[in-house]
Amino acid sequence: MRYFFLVIGFLATMGSNAQSDTSKTGLLPGLSFSGYLEAYYSYDFNLREGHKQPYFLYQFDQHNEFSVNIGMLEATYEREWFRSAFGIQIGTLQNSNVGGEPGVFRNLYEAYAGLKIRENMWVDAGVFYSHLGFASAFSLDNPNLGAFLSNENTPYYLAGVRMAYQPNEHWSFLGVVSNGWQNMSEGFNDQGKAVGLQVCFSPSDKASLTYNNFLGQEEIDTSGGTWFFQELIWNWQPSDRFEMIAGLDFGLRKRGDADVWDQWYNPGVGMRYWLSKKWGVGGRYEFYGDPAKVIQVPSPEAFRVHGASVNVDFRVNPQAMLRVEGRGFFSQNDFLSVADGDPRHFDQSTSITASLAVQFGRD
């Protein structure tokens, strides 16, 4: 318990200083720092013992426990033709999300170096934030507290090479060659690589339409095969008071050499309305269908889950926010929850989560 209150004290200190420009340093021109810290408490009404909420959640996934979801510190260095970034992270998201990576990578947030090829075109190599998913991994950037199922079940990071090009204020393009679906390191027999594309059109500063894809050989389970994943995301913020995200994921997997294609799909929409400068309310609905269990391998039955949430936000200042969210998942079939290694089957899950998040040096 005392560690939680130490974190809260640190957050309060950060929050009180967040209005000032603390991201730039006088040590070296082009060097800057950014940070993010989010403490939380979550209670799942299905669980009477253990601390792990449903396995398909990676953010805010600890039941009846004061903890830290994300603690991130990053240094970036940029000059006219060169840039680099190195960031580390701690928290329950990091524990749940990168547990399969070798020890040296488990606390890595980003680590890449890049060169400017021409005006508005960069090539980066290393480990970097994924282009997939409806929203950001950082809840302060999103209208809702808990992550979309789209984010939880697509890569949070990729390792490889990417090329980014923004010819004007309306269009941007990104191409990626990576180790695969959230792989910092390859398995012994995994020699394949994956490619990805992003095309973003912003007709104005109030709206954007983004298309993402991923193509590669993946072996989450013994079926393996070729994956082709596509995603369409609409971001709309017509005013300072209202914002909305709507998206659709659709994936296909060809099973090895067999002429069989499995599919999974995930529509979702989330929004928030600011009642005043300090208080906001948000809501979300999403559905995740994975009848062949391509992504949801641990599910005891075909995975078809509806999700909904309602959140209330209090904006302490532009860099800090206190949030409370009630969230539920409902299914005709059982999905799996794990309580300290003991499998429990549920067809619904209801939780409430409170968080305090503070950032500095981030746009």
Distance, in Å, from the CA atom of 291 to the CA atom of 173, rounded to the nearest integer, reads: 33
Mean pLDDT for all residues in the chain = 87
Q: How confident is the model at residue 1 (pLDDT cuts 50, 70, 90)?
A: very low
Of residues 148 and 47, which shows the higher confidence score? Answer: 148
What is the 8-class DSSP label of residue 147?
A: P
Burial class (CB in 10 A: 0-12, 13-18, 19+), 73: middle
Report the pLDDT value the prediction gives residue 47, as an integer from 0 to 100.
77
Q: How confident is the model at residue 298 (pLDDT cuts 50, 70, 90)?
A: confident
Q: Is the pLDDT of residue 69 over 90?
A: yes
What does the pLDDT average to over 324-353? 79
What integer pLDDT is reported at residue 110 of this predicted model?
Answer: 94
Q: What is the pLDDT of residue 12?
A: 42
Percent of the chain with pLDDT over 90: 66
Q: Give the pLDDT of residue 4.
A: 40
CB neighbour burial string for 284-314, b if at least 16 within 10 angstroms, e if fewer: bebebbbbbbbbbeebebebbbebebebbbe
pLDDT above 60 for 349: yes
pLDDT tens digits, 203-235: 999 999 999 999 998 766 555 688 999 999 999
Radius of gyration for the alpha carbons in the chain, expressed in angstroms and rounded: 20
Residue with tokens 């998913």: 133
Predicted local confidence at residue 158, as pLDDT: 94
pLDDT at residue 357 tops 80: yes
Q: Please, which pLDDT band fits residue 302 given cuts at 50, 70 and 90?
A: confident
Domain that holds residue 146: 2-360
Q: pLDDT tens digit string along 170-200?
A: 999 999 999 999 888 776 456 678 999 999 9
What is the spatial distance between Cα 231 and Cα 214, in angstroms, rounded to a whole number?
A: 9
Q: What's residue 319's pLDDT? A: 95
**Number of residues assigned to the chain:** 363
**Beta bridge mates, 65:** 42
Residue 3 has pLDDT above 60, yes or no: no
What pLDDT is stored for residue 167 in this prediction? 96
Average pLDDT over residues 231-249: 98
Residue 187: the pLDDT is: 63
Binned at pLDDT 50, 70 and 90, residue 332 comes out as: confident
DSSP 16-68: HHTTS--SB-SSSTTEEEEEEEEEEEEEETT-SS-SB--TT--TT-BSSEEEE
What phi and psi, each to the nearest 5 degrees, are found at residue 280?
Answer: -140, 155
Q: At residue 71, what are phi and psi to the nearest 5 degrees?
A: -125, 115
Query: Would you state the pLDDT for residue 16?
Result: 42
What does the alpha-carbon distance between residue 238 and residue 221 come to, in Å, rounded to a whole number? 43
- Look up residue 16 and give its two tokens: 């009180």
| pLDDT score recorded for residue 13 | 45
Cα 18 to the center of its chain, rounded Å: 23
DSSP alpha helices (H): ranges in the chain?
A: 2-17, 92-97, 149-152
| Residue type at 172 in one-letter notation | S
Both structure tokens of 158:
């990729």
Residue 18 has pLDDT above 50, yes or no: no
pLDDT band at 338 (very low <50, low <70, confident <90, very high): low
CATH of the domain at 347: 2.40.160.10
Whether the predicted pLDDT of 46 surpasses 70: yes
pLDDT higher than 50, residue 9: no
Under 8 Å between Cβ of 186 and 179: yes
The fraction of the chain above a pLDDT of 70, given in percent, is 86
Query: From CA 354, how far away is CA 86, in angstroms rounded?
Result: 30
CA 52 to CA 144: how far, in whole Å? Answer: 21
Number of domains in the chain: 1
Question: What's the rounded Cα separation, in Å, for the pair 96 and 155?
Answer: 13
